[in-house]
Structure 1
Amino acid sequence: MVLAGKHTFGSIGDTRVTFIEKKIDENRKDFLQKLLEHNGFEVIIQEEKRKTEEEPQLYTVATTDMVFNPTIWVFERKLKTLDGHIVNQDYWTQASEDTNPRYWKNEK
């Protein structure tokens, strides 16, 4: 869930993709899918293979936009929430619903 500067890409099936996050749970997958589709990206979801039926299902989220890098888009304030606010790092990682785009807090 952390934003890393590394841009990872590969293939899902026959489609070239930029990987957003791998091995994430369903809640995270749904959040990213809604957010990215709202911002105009085509999202591809791949289910990870499970060793047993008891293991939770994990997913890989990717987009067909080969130049998309989540770190750049978040810190350049290019992504918007479903209600039109700017996506910041805490919102992207689901640490906070606060969309105030400051990356630090000056508390006294």
Structure 2
Amino acid sequence: MVERIPDSVTEQERWIVKHHIDTVKVEYRQTGTDTAETYVTLIAGKEKVTWRDTTFNKVAQLQLGYNTVVSPKYGVRERVDARDKWEKANARELAEFKRLKAKFEADDGR
């Protein structure tokens, strides 16, 4: 039986799962005469990331109420946990794969 490899996860998905957000800031940046983009800054202790709102909306959700909470979207935490567990169990093979991939991509004479 072949082991099923869990779906890969993005840096943003991994970040939102691994951090407890204590501050959320929203900023609108003018991109043209009549256009703007929305950016969300998430602060977790001394760490901070800023994403466009479209990226934020793919991986997280704001739960408004007495205390506003940022949490991963449904299923993101499980996917990140499954991928982390798989990567840990296959660490040696993954390291060898990355080493060989870098070697042969560098030697590719195209």
* TM-score normalised according to structure 2 size: 0.29
* TM-score normalised according to structure 1 size: 0.29
